[in-house]
Structures are given as C-alpha cells and as structure tokens.
Structure 1
Amino acid sequence: MTDEGFRVIEPQPMARAMPAWEGAFPQFDLVVGYSDLGHVFMADSASSEFAVLHTYRAAAKGYGAFGDVAEFADEVLRDPGFAGYVLRNDHVAAIRELLGPLADEQVYIATPYPFLGGSEEPDTYSVGQVWVFLDVVGQLLGPWA
C-alpha cells in the first residue's frame, strides 16, 4: 500500500470483485480501487461516473464524471480534505505504527466492526485481505435486492 492511504487497481467487474455487494449500487459496475481502511472506489463504465463506498455504512457518495481513474485519483482521492476526512491519513498512520505497513490486497479492519459496536481506536484494528473483508461486511449488511 502507498503512503497515500489508497490503491488504484485495474478495473474489476463489481460482480466478480464484490459479489456480496452486487445489487447494492447497480449504477456502478466497476471496482477501481480501495483505501487502507476498506473504502471502495467504484465507477460506471458507461457514464464515467465515480463514487466512494463507505463500507461500514453501506453508503456511497458520487463524485461525478472523470476522464479516467487517474483523474479521479488526482482530483478526489489526493484532495487534502478528502485525505483528512475520508481516508483519515493521520488515523491510518497511527494504525500503521502499531501493525506495520500493508501488503498488496490488504486493509486495516476495525474489530469489532463499528456497526457492531467497535470504537475504531487504532489499537482495535487488525490486518486482513480486502476482498474477504468486503465479502464479510457485504453479507452482514445486505441483502441488497
């Protein structure tokens, strides 16, 4: 993982990358990245609209259309306000100090999950595989139909 607090990936079909979330946000068909804390960056391949999934809340915020993923990352993900409020880079730095850096396809996971009473204090996090994390949280918060 980068020090930026997020990773942009080769676009993956939502149905394959996050099957437990299929139907939750039908307007978005691609996963284009994720944050160190498990937010997911989604795109609509037809309209070039991008959104951020706030995983623990099962809510997404749209950010409009962009020419490509790099432009979305430059204008949204690297924005200092977004980095402070959503990516929580200071919070992630405290977690990283306790748990070490993340490897590819890993995220920091609050335990217990905030929607199950977790505090999200840095010492309550563990490291896990992003796709397993998304599948478990999606199953707990779904179904979406």
Structure 2
Amino acid sequence: MTSVPFRLIGDLRMDRVMPAWAEQFPPYDTVVGYSDLGYAFLLSSRTGEYGIFDPYSPGVKDYGVFTEVTEFVSQVLFDPNVITYVLQPGHVAEIRRRLGPLDPDEVYIATPYPFLGGSESPDSYQKGGVWVFFDLVAQAHEQDS
C-alpha cells in the first residue's frame, strides 16, 4: 500500500458537511478528516476533544483532548487497535486493487450497508462522495428504525 487509508481535510464545520449527524453528536462541531472506509474524525473546538465517528453503528468514540491534530493522528490513528478496526489497511488495499485509488472527497462504500445486511467483502464496495455518503447513511438509518 502506498498511502495511509485516511486523509486530513482541515477544519470543516460539521453542520455544513454532515448536517444530518451534527445534531446527534452536539459536543463535536468540526470534521478534521476521514478514513477511506468512511469513518469521520471529529473535534470539539470548545474542548479540544477528538472522536471517531462510525456511520454504520452509528456512534462516536471519544479519544480525549489533544492540543493539535498531529497529536491525535500519532496517538490515536496510529494506535494498533484503530489501525486494525477502523483504518483496516489490508482490507482497503484489496478494495483499492479492485476499484483503484480514491479521488479527493471520495470513500469506499460497502453496498449494501453492513447494518442493512451487507457483507463488507472487498468486492461489495464502490466509490462515492464522502459527504453524500454520510447523508445517505443517515437517511438509511432513519428508514431502518
């Protein structure tokens, strides 16, 4: 694999790029990045707390306060458990071999979504826009309820 399976995007307001989720996770108001598989990296600009949002579950795991995003990256995103369960570089590499690299603002999307019975096997993925993905997953959760 030639790249890490995530990207940092600067600080984007959550209510603008992920409006369907912003009210559900009020402590977090900023999106600082996302993984190739669609996990979002969130920040509370008020407290400095960082979390990782799993859109399929859905939920946010809080990882505590960091003064810089680089600390969050080195201490959280390079943690072996996060690499194994969130970033999944081997799985992403298999998907990338099949679909090719992602363009900016794209993620690999399991179809159907895992909570709707999808297998998450490498051949079940397609590419899609990250912000549309978050919106569509939120809509699917509402239908699933």
Per the shorter chain, which TM-score range?
Answer: over 0.9
Residues in 2 aligned to 1:141 and 1:15: alpha-carbon distance in whole angstroms = 18
**Unaligned 5+ runs, structure 1:** none
Deviations, residues 78-109 of structure 1 (Å, cap 9, x unaligned): 22331122111111111111111111110000
**In the TM superposition, what is the alpha-carbon distance from 1:142 to its structure 2 partner?**
4.4
Distance 1:115 1:35 in 2: 19
Structure 1 Cα separation of the partners of residues 46 and 126 of structure 2? 37
Instruction: Give the distance between the partners of 1:43 and 1:114, measured in 2 at CA.
Output: 26
Instruction: Give the alignment of 1:1-145 within 5 angstroms.
Output: 3-142=3-142
TM-score, structure 1 as length reference: 0.93
Higher relative contact order (CA 8 A, sep 6+): 1
Q: Can you list the C-alpha shifts for 1:9-61, whole angstroms capped at 9, x where unaligned?
A: 11111100101112110010101100000000000001100000011111110
Amino acid corresponding to residue 110 of structure 1 in structure 2: A
Task: Quote the sequence identity (%).
Answer: 51
Equivalent pairs counted in the alignment come to 142
Higher alpha-carbon deviation: 108-117 or 72-81: 72-81
Which amino acid letter does the alignment assign opposite residue 128 of structure 2? G
- Give the match's secondary structure for 1:81: helix
Large movers: runs of 4+ above 4 Å:
none
TM-score (normalised: structure 2): 0.93
- Give distance in 1, aligned partners of 2:15 and 2:139: 14
Aligned CA-pair RMSD: 1.4
